[in-house]
């Protein structure tokens, strides 16, 4: 039995916003794979909930006319992975979503929940940030678009206003066209785990496939929120596809990461892994882009 004081079931975005205004103390629940754990542990016992689960309009992946990929916030990880749009344009996001927990969690957990709970280890968050995704929030005043890097305010803190819910995650065509990516989830076991560190890299190569025109890298668990390491990206811009570039990229990444020691892993260990992940992810992203190595 779960100790829930009241649950408000919203059937539309408008109703959810109305509930947000009427019940400011209530938490938002969609799949429940985080909230229910908090209730069971007693931390959220006796809470009020606003459930978005019945709002089907927030489910599904589509392509807008301008080429923007629109992922409804209630889309489950499994649906993200299986989406033909995702597979065609940002396959790496589907691969990242497929690394979450196990099949049951991937069927219930949502991409909106994964970003809104504001944790650094979220498997989809680093890839979304590496693609400069945009978070769509809907409130009483209408829609508001926030770049994902600005959406994360701090550990477990995101930029959702009191009357808002997250309604979609958007990826603009200029962010994904011509890019190929790779996500590496580094964890203590092959499934049912939270990343010790994750790394998502995507690249756009020159026409002759010998030069890196653009590279983006984002880590999970390298800081309190998913972290873009710009020094690595700068080290790769315009550089030839070569082992030296890969090394420079990894060295750049390590200038920017700031992991901490906890009982789960030491800072030194995370640095070892993060340097190696930069190498492997960039190498694989280049290979997927058909890069020709010097």
Partner 1 sequence: MEVGKSFKRVDAFDKVTGRAKYADDLCPKNAYVSRILHSTIAHGRVIRIDTAEAAQIDGVVKVLTCFDVPDRPFPTAGHPWNTDPGHQDVADRKLLNEHVRYYGDDIAVVIAEDTVAADRAIRALTVEYEAYPFVLDPIESAKEGAPLIHGERQNNNILAHSSLRIGNYAEAIKEPGLIKVEGWYHTPTVQHSHIENHICFAYQEQGQRVTVCSSTQIPHIVRRVTAQALGWPWGKVRIIKPYIGGGFGNKQDALYEPLCAWLTTQVGGHPVKLDVSREETFVNNRVRHAMHAHITSWMRPDGTFAARKLEVWSDQGAYASHGHSVAAKGMGAFPQLYPCDNVETDAWTVYTNKPTGGAMRGYGIPQAMFQNESHIEDIVTALNLDPIAFRRKNSMPVGYFDSFSKNELYEDSFNQCLDKAIEKIDYDRKRARYRHQTGPVRRGIGAALFWYNTAVWPISIETSSCRMIMNQDGSIQLITGETEIGQGCDTVFAQMAADTIGLRLEDVHVFTMQDTDVTPYGSGAYASRQTYIGGFSIRQTGQLLKEKILKHAHTLTRMPADLLDIIDGTIVRKSDNRALMTVGELATRTLYDMERSEHLAAESTYAVKSNAYSFGVTIAEVEVDIPLCQAKVLNMVNVHDCGTLINPQLAEAQVHGGMSMALGFGLYEELLADPKTGRILNDNLLDYKLPTTMDHPDLLVDFVENAEPTSPFGTKALGEPPTCSPAPAIRNAILQATGVAINTLPLNPHRLFEEFTKAGIFRTEQEVISPPSPGRSAEISRVTINA
- The only residue of 157, 264, 287, 290 in contact with partner 1, by rule CB under 8 A: 264
Distance CA 103, CA 196 (A): 20
Nearer to partner 1, 40 or 143 (CB): 40
Instruction: Tell me how far CA of residue 266 lies from CA of 113, 222, 270, in angstroms.
Output: 28, 12, 6
Whole-angstrom Cα Rg for the chain: 19
43 binds partner 1 (CB under 8 A): no
- The only residue of 162, 189, 207, 208 in contact with partner 1, by rule CB under 8 A: 189
Please list every residue from 193 through 212 that binds partner 1, using CB under 8 A.
Answer: 193-194, 196
Closest C-alpha to 271, from 222, 225, 230: 222
- The only residue of 191, 260, 261, 287 in contact with partner 1, by rule CB under 8 A: 191
Stretch that binds partner 1, among 14-22, 86-94, 167-175, 243-251 (CB under 8 A): 243-251
Stretch that binds partner 1, among 118-126, 201-209, 214-222, 272-280 (CB under 8 A): 272-280
What's the token pair of residue 99?
């690394």
Give DSSP secondary structure letters for 12-78.
Answer: SHHHHHHHHHH-TTPEEESS-TTHHHHHHTTTTTTEEEEE-TT-GGG--EEE-TTS-EEEETT-BHH
- The only residue of 274, 284, 285, 289 in contact with partner 1, by rule CB under 8 A: 274
Residues that bind partner 1 (CB under 8 A): 1-3, 42, 45-46, 102, 186, 188-194, 196, 247, 250-251, 254-255, 263-266, 268-269, 271-276
């Amino acid at each position: 039995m779960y100790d829930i004081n009241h649950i408000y079931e919203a059937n539309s975005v408008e109703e959810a916003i109305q509930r947000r205004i009427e019940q400011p103390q209530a938490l938002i629940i969609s799949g429940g794979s985080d909230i229910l754990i908090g209730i069971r542990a007693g931390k959220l016992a006796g809470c009020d909930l606003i459930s978005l689960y019945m709002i089907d309009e927030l489910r599904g992946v589509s392509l807008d006319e301008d080429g923007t990929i629109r992922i409804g916030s209630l889309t489950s990880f499994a649906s993200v992975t299986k989406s033909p749009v995702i597979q065609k344009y940002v396959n790496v996001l589907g691969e990242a979503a497929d690394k979450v927990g196990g099949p049951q969690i991937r069927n219930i957990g949502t991409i909106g929940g994964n970003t809104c709970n504001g944790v650094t280890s979220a498997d989809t968050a680093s890839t979304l940030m590496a693609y400069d995704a945009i978070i769509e929030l809907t409130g009483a005043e209408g829609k508001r678009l926030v770049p994902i890097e600005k959406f994360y305010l701090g550990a477990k803190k995101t930029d959702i206003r009191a009357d808002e819910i997250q309604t979609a995650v958007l990826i603009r065509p200029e962010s994904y066209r011509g890019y190929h990516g790779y996500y590496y989830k580094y964890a203590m076991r092959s499934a049912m785990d939270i990343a010790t560190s994750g790394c998502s890299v995507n690249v756009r190569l020159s026409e002759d496939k010998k030069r890196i025109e653009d590279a983006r890298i984002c880590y999970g668990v390298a800081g309190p929120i998913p972290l873009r390491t710009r020094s690595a990206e700068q080290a790769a811009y315009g550089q030839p596809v070569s082992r030296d570039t890969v090394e420079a990229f990894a060295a750049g990444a390590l200038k920017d990461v700031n992991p901490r020691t906890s009982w789960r892993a030491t800072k030194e260990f995370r640095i070892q892994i993060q340097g190696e992940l930069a190498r492997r992810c960039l190498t694989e992203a280049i290979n997927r882009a058909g890069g020709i190595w010097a």
